[in-house]
Amino acid sequence: MSGALEGIKVVDLSRVLGGPYCGQMLADHGAEVIKVEPPQGDETRGWGPPFDAEGISAYFSGINRNKRTIALDLSVSAGREVLLKLLAEADVLIDNFKTGTMEKWGIGYADTLSQQFPRLIHARVSGFGADGPLGGFPGYDAMIQASTGLVSVNGSPDSGPVRIGVPVVDLSTGMNACIGILMALYERTRSGKGQFVDATLYDSAIALHQPHAPNYFVGGVKPKLHGNSHGNLAPYANFPTKGRNIVIGAGNDGQFRKLCQLLGKPELADDARFKTNADRVANKPALEAELRELTKDRDGEPFSVELMENGVPSGAVLEVPDVMEHPHTRHRGMVWEKDGWRNVGNPVKLSRTPASPRSKPKTFGADTAAVLAELGYSAAEVEALVASGVALTAVRKG
C-alpha cells in the first residue's frame, strides 16, 4: 500500500537526531528520502554500544529507517555538483549544518537554491537560527533544555533541576520541521512556489512550556519544582503501591469523587480541603499524604486498570522493556520489524495510507552507486567519483 507522501522526493543532509527524525517521519509515510552523509558518516553511527550484526548503532537505527543512504563530500565543488543534480528532482531539502555553511558553499537558499529550484522546500534544523543574540551558536538537546528553562521545571525540591530523560527538544524540533514541510508542500499546490522552513531547537523548547509560560504571563508565577506532582492540578502525582508505583490524575471533581470511592474512602471528596481543584491544589501535601496511605497496600498495575475502567486516568510506572512488550503497544503497531530489525513504529496513523517499514536502516554508502547511476552517471563516472573521494561507499578514516 502506498504512503500518503508517495511521489515526494526528499534529500536529507542532516545528521544526529532532529533532522533525521524529520526525514524518517516523511519516509515512513511514503516519501523517497535519500540520506546524504558526509565522508566521516553521521556521527550517531558511532554512538554505541549496542551495535547490530552489521555494525549499525542502535541510536542510528532508531531514526534512519526507510531511507536510501549515500555519501558525498560537499566541501568540494564536485560533490556539490552531484547534490544539485539530486535537488533538480527533489521536492524537499533538509539540513542541519551550522548556519552559514550552505551559503559559504554557494548553495544557500535565498541566493541560489530558491532561484535555481523555485519549487524546492528547504528545511533547516538549527540550535538558535541564523541571527539574533544567540544566532549561529551550536545546540544540543541537553544544552537547549538548560538555556530555555526546561531543566529548571523538571525535578523535585530534593533532586533539584534535572534534565528530561528523553531528547524532547530534538524530537519536537524534528516534528516541527516535518509539520512545516507539510504546510509548505500544501501551500505549494496553490502558489507553485517552495519556501524556507526554519525550525530551531530554541523555539521548539520554548513552545513546550505549557502550562509554565501561561502561568507566568497571566499570574507572574515563577514555576516551582513539583517532582511527580503538578502545579495546577491535584491529584496528579505518582503514588506508591505494594507493586509498581502508579500515577493518578483526577482532572475534575467527578473523577476525584470516583477515585475516593474506589480507594474506599468516599468521604474524602466532601472534605472542605479537597472539594474543588483549587482547594486540592492549595492543600496538596495533605491530599497526597491521604492518598498515599490509601494506595500503598494496593497492587499497582491491576489497580491502575481498575481506575481507568471506572473513568479515572491512571497508569502504572512501567519500564521500557515492559512497554515495548506490552500487548497494547503491539496492538497499536508501535513496534515495527523488518528483516531482523526491530524498533519503535510511527505514531501518525492514517486509515487509507498508513505508514509502514519498507527498509531497515542501512550501512554507510549502501546506495551511493545506485543513486548516482539513476542520476545519469555511467559506471565509469561512478567509479571515478568514488576513487576521487567525492562520493563514498566506505567511511573515510581520519
Catalytic residue numbers read 170
The closest of 198, 162, 200, 207 to 18, measured between CA atoms, is 200
Q: Give the helix, strand, coil percentages of the chain, each rounded to 5.
A: 40, 15, 45
Longest dimension (CA), the chain: 84
State the distance between the two ends of the chain, measured CA to CA, in whole angstroms. 43
Strand ranges for the chain from DSSP E: 9-12, 32-37, 67-72, 92-95, 121-126, 155-156, 160-161, 196-200, 236-239, 246-249, 314-316, 335-338, 341-344, 391-392
Q: How far apart are CA 276 and CA 257, in angstroms?
A: 10
Q: How far apart are CA 185 and CA 192, in angstroms?
A: 9
Residue 75: what residue type?
S
Q: How far apart are CA 359 and CA 64, in angstroms?
A: 10
Q: How far apart are CA 189 and CA 264, in angstroms?
A: 59
Helices 300-309, 253-262: inter-axial angle, 10-degree rounding: 130
SS3 (DSSP) at 10: strand
Q: How far apart are CA 356 and CA 252, in angstroms?
A: 39
Given a contact cutoff of 8 angstroms between Cβ atoms, the answer to whether 71 and 392 are in contact is yes
